[in-house]
Structure 1
Amino acid sequence: MPAAAITAIVVSYDSAEVLPACLDALAGEGVPAIVVDNASGDESRNIAAKKGASVIANARNEGYGRGNNIGIAAAETPFVLIVNPDLELGAGAAGALLAAAERYPDAGMLAPRIVEPSGRIFLQPRSLLSPDHLNRSGAMVVPEGDACLPFLSGACLLIRRELFMALGGFDRSIFLFYEDDDLCRRMRDAGHSLIHVHEAEARHGRGRSSTPSPQRRFKARWHLAWSERYIARKYGLTEPSPIRMLENLGKAVGYGLLLNREKLYAHAGSVAGARAWRRGETALAHEGLEMLP
């Protein structure tokens, strides 16, 4: 099956530093890209256009899952390839993923070997949504070939577009965090396997999609705390104890006294997100967004 069967979806948000390499790698694989820009304040949109990508310019930051939903709805190919802007697809990876999709027709999603800057292969050993017997206390053993896994990383996913649309895409109530775990869980519950493809490789910058700052750290931890509670309630799991919120509050105060802004903002964000959940505030309302149809 040719690479023309795939459209890459890249959600960008102030991703000008990493976007050129991401799009060049996709072009090298012959994979056209749709860049869904979440109201970047940098040159992300111009870079995407100059690199030949189709650009969808959102008026506001719609978040990761909702941004991908918009891009996938605009695609017309049987497969879509979700790609983080700080990820570079390796040579031959697109073809290897498509070949694996043919070998495993029951696979709902497939992912390449994701190599981090340290050289470590990223595999997710645990998830809030995984059965206890599949959660692992340490690092997972890297498969020596293709493997069926309970979860795949949202940094790079080959998805059958028709199936993605039939499942309703990413949960539109989530702005950030757990949306890929949630989709993996729904794929498995619907009877579709999740395949790690050994022959396909991608290099991931991990956390370089947007320029870091204490304010963004606060925002990320706000959504991590909120989404964890949302997902727990969605699946009838035990929600985090209020004691955790008090622990994070204590840490925020402590790091504030030490003048450590990064950790102060991180723990303060966790407190604020948990408190917002307890008050009934939604992630979308927090971002000034409305539920899309």
Structure 2
Amino acid sequence: MKTEKKQDHISVSAVVVTWNSIRDIEFCLNSLLTQTVKLKTILIIDNASQDGTPDLIRQKFPTVELEERENNEGFARGNNIGFAKSDTNWILTLNPDACISPDFVSVLLEAAESNPKMGMIGGKLLRVNDLDAGSNGTHKSKIIDSTGIEIFKSRRVRDRGMGEEDHGQYDSDERVFGICAGAALYKREMLRDVAISGEIFPERFFAYYEDADLAWRAWRRGWEAWFIPKAVGWHRRGGSSTGSRYSRELTHRNRLWMITRNEPLSQTLSNFPTFILHEILMFLRMLRFPYLFQASFKAFSGWAGSVQERMKLMDTSSDSPPFKSGIGFEAGKIKQSVANSLSKFSG
């Protein structure tokens, strides 16, 4: 009963950025509307969908606030628009190809009560082929999508546990580097604290790595990210361009920008061998995907802007992010890339 009274004084809004999301959006919005904690607003930022997504939302979800953009302005800017329109203590970001359990927000808020430094919180995301399977409980996936974001000494980031079978190995509350923006609860105070020139997610990233960049800035400012496994969601991870040439280009470019914006030189030097190992891997990958050279050029051409952005955020934390070694993983990837590159040029 004490928890319920505290949560009565906490306001939460949700932001969903859509782009041709008609396949999933009903399940996503239904999961938001059935939360045990009433959301003050549910805001949809539609990035010029051409598949009827806005019409479906207007027809079936009249209480949801919809803003239609004339062009696809990207995941980062779409969420920033939603952040700016939200006046609540907490803001939930949810991908249109994801849905969450009815107590998802309540569980995360309860965890946040014990630690004022929590700036972002997330739950256990499981992989499903269809959102109705997760939202209706007809299929309980055992494949993990994300249990938070982890960062390696190579400065590569990934969703922790992705692709693993869930057998309870991540069933403890745990501080992590960051939270996947596909289903993340952000403290408004934290978002304001780490914004650079009014931007929370870096809009020139467009998509990918924006949540990792935010996590790194939050860490630098002394905020904490926590994974709470009792909160469960489902992610189809098929409603975007994941795995496409375009997504690879953005991922490659944005990783370099993220490092430039956040990396102290002392940390680069202390982890130099692992960092170089990863760059060898990336070079071999570029031989396999030559268009990544263009992505590198775009990253370097925007280097000055990244340096300027870096100087606008002052550190308050003396702790380094929880870099993982990942040497065995990186070496395995290099071996695989060498084999792929050799087969390409020999065949």
TM-score of the superposition, structure 1-length normalised?
0.77
Does structure 2 conserve the Cα–Cα contact (< 8 Å) formed by 1:12 and 1:209?
no
What is the Cα deviation at residue 241 of structure 1? Answer: 4.5
Residue aligning to 1:262: none
- CA distance change for structure 1 residues 170 and 195 in 2, over 3 Å: closer, same or farther? same
Amino acid across the alignment from 1:167: V
Aligned to 2:292: 270
Kindly indicate whether residue 235 of structure 2 is the aligned counterpart of residue 209 of structure 1.
no
Secondary structure of the corresponding residue to residue 197 of structure 1: strand
State whether residues 190 and 223 of structure 2, in contact with CA within 8 Å, keep that contact through their aligned partners in structure 1: no
1:8 counterpart residue number: 14
Q: Quick check: 1:186 aligned with 2:217?
A: yes
What residue number does 2:337 align with?
Answer: none
Q: Quick check: 1:93–1:201 contact (8 Å CA) kept in 2?
A: yes
Residues of 1 paired with 2:160 and 2:93: CA distance? Answer: 26
1:225-263 Cα shifts (integer Å, max 9, x gaps): 2112212222345687488456434x3xxxxxxxxxxxx
- Return the alpha-carbon distance in structure 1 between the equivalents of residues 259 and 106 of structure 2: 37
User: Where does residue 199 of structure 1 map in the other structure?
Assistant: 230
After superposition, the Cα gap between the structure-2 partners of 1:244 and 1:15, relative to the gap in structure 1 and judged at 3 Å, is: same
Residue 274 of structure 1 aligns to which amino acid in structure 2? Answer: S
Displacement, 1:49? 2.6
Q: Check conservation: 2:17, 2:96, Cα contact below 8 A.
A: yes
Does the 8 Å contact 1:125/1:137 carry over to 2?
Answer: no
Post-superposition offset of 1:142: 3.3
Greater C-alpha Rg? 2
Alpha-carbon distance change, 232 to 4 in structure 1, aligned in 2, over 3 angstroms = closer
User: What's the counterpart of residue 257 of structure 2?
Assistant: 230
Which 5+ residue runs of structure 2 have no aligned equivalent? 1-6, 129-140, 269-274, 306-347
Q: How far did 1:268 drift?
A: 5.1
Could you say which residue in structure 1 is the equivalent of 2:97?
86
Shift of 1:145: 3.0
Cα distance, 1:148 vs structure 2: 1.3
Distance 1:269 1:217 in 2: 12
- Aligned twin of 1:63: 74
Asked whether the 8 Å contact 2:286–2:292 carries over to 1, the reply is yes
- Name the CA shift for 1:41/1:190 in 2 (closer, same or farther; >3 Å): same
Closer/same/farther in 2, CA of residues 225 and 3 from structure 1, 3 Å limit: farther
For residue 232 of structure 1, give the secondary structure of its aligned residue in structure 2: helix
Matches within 5 A, 1:277-292: 277-278=299-300, 280=301
Which AA in structure 2 matches 1:205?
Answer: R
Change in 2 beyond 3 A, CA 1:158/1:41: same
SS at match of 2:203: coil
Between 1:35-44 and 1:235-244, the stretch displaced more is: 235-244
State the distance in 2 between where 1:161 and 1:112 align: 18
Deviations along 1:112-135, one digit per CA (max 9) or x if unpaired, are: 111112422323574257889xx9
> 1:108-167: CA deviations, max 9, x gaps?
0110111112422323574257889xx999979733332211222121111111321232
2:149 aligned with 1:119: no
Equivalent in the alignment of 1:248 = 286
Alignment partners' CA distance in 2, 1:19 and 1:60: 19
Match of 1:156 in 2: 183
2:27 to 16, 21, 45: 21
Equivalent position of 1:109 in the other structure: 120
**Deviating more after overlay: 16-25 vs 158-167:** 158-167
When the two structures are superposed, what TM-score results if normalisation uses the length of structure 2?
Answer: 0.66
Is this contact kept in 2: 1:56–1:71, CA < 8 A? no
Matched, 1:41 2:50: yes
Residue in 2 that maps onto 1:261: none
1:198 deviation in Å?
A: 2.4
Output the amino acid matched with 1:273.
Answer: A
Cross-structure match for 1:146:
173
Q: 1:142 to 1:170 in 2, by over 3 A?
A: farther
CA positional deviation for 1:180: 0.5
- What RMSD, in angstroms, separates the aligned Cα atoms of the two structures? 3.2
**Per the alignment, do residues 72 and 142 of structure 1 end up closer, same or farther by CA in structure 2, a change over 3 Å counting?**
farther
